[in-house]
A and B are shown apart, each in its own frame.
Chain A
């Protein structure tokens, strides 16, 4: 079975249940977890990524393409992540940021360079490989961040409020770019947001961290 499955995933802290999710996200689907800040959204994200602090208690499983990834460390889960900020590595050039994500099995300088150039083209940023990330605009940085996540060849993607820092006009365009890429690649994705516009635009189900329907998609 393909896709991302949260099998009775439950996170408690000091006896209080913060996250209770039991769902499946199909390839190409973008499911939204929505709620106000402090509602357990980021705890849900941490649980799926496998970076929960020791103060939390986790039960249930995370399945990716049928495989139980719960015991695996973050880096082995093949779940990509997009942050609220782009979190580009400031000491590396744009191209090196992308190459960092590229799997090591792509051998040879030329091949790796080619893969990076292709990704830049897809992002509409041809010739930006040697640029300092700090000199890019917000929209350009967001696109680079997405391409970097995709180059690592994830089998699922988590989006942690990736559009909240962008202004309204840019936000619509970047959101469309990101969602198009996800659908085009058939990735199961979970969007964590407090913004109902983002959730609606994602076009999938909208739940709160305890698994309740947060409203019908329009």
Chain B
């Protein structure tokens, strides 16, 4: 009998297959020539100075290597950029658009793809594409079960990990039911970002994976499953834990950094992030107690990839392609994985790299709170995007409009 993990991987592969059939490779020399001298406006969430610093470093690389200038447009919310592209189309601006590149995935990608706001396919024509571990890391070609279709290019892997203060909580709970028991015994010491926030909704999906009778239905659109039966255990779990949450569930942190700040302020003992290296990086920066460690649940946690996409009307398309390719460069990927820089896991297949490039990764130290890659398994695939939308909406109805 196949395990659940095998089933998920198989399903992912099936869905991923069409993405391998791309158009003829583009003329990369021509792209480089056109890109030289361009300024690329990369719309990327700007809430984390470490990521901002990394993007600035990528900009320096782009300038020295290809003569492309990179400007990060710091967003409070990725949807700002989506809204911007939409507003441009409404205003009839089909070229010379303000957004050249977007850091995107999940719902935003599905929305832009569905409304035809993206340029492409282009990802599989990038010179560095063969280095991407599309087989070992199926999330690089399937974004919330939505095939990327080459309309976006991956640049970082992310996985949900739980962070806990080992000084106060030596034995962290490793499943939804254990978490519930612990929270009841220690009221007010745990919470999650308020859905529809990305991390908050991801947490709901994580619990759903752990409590739903048949996790396989999550990979299909929500309409194809018995939604009520699949989610009933989730709502029961939430009903049970809410009175024991931080502030008794009468207020929630807004997002991942706000959640992390609660841990740093000692308001919670247990937290989580969508980046296995976040805790180590925060400790290194002096922003988190050095007693914080990370762990994942016994049956695994959700993992996905971060992508970049190019809007249909981007003014500097060639420059954007150069940046997307540069982000897949082994040196850039190794820097992103350095826990002192970002701690983002690479999207590359280390076996496909040259020995010198592989050494860049093998030389990285792990960081005091980061788990080694083999301890980060199993990785659960993102459910179909429609689950996130539906669960977040139902959460709002049940918990989000009246305390």
A–B direct touch in complex (beta carbons closer than 8 A): no
The interface of chain A, by Cβ under 8 A from chain B, is none
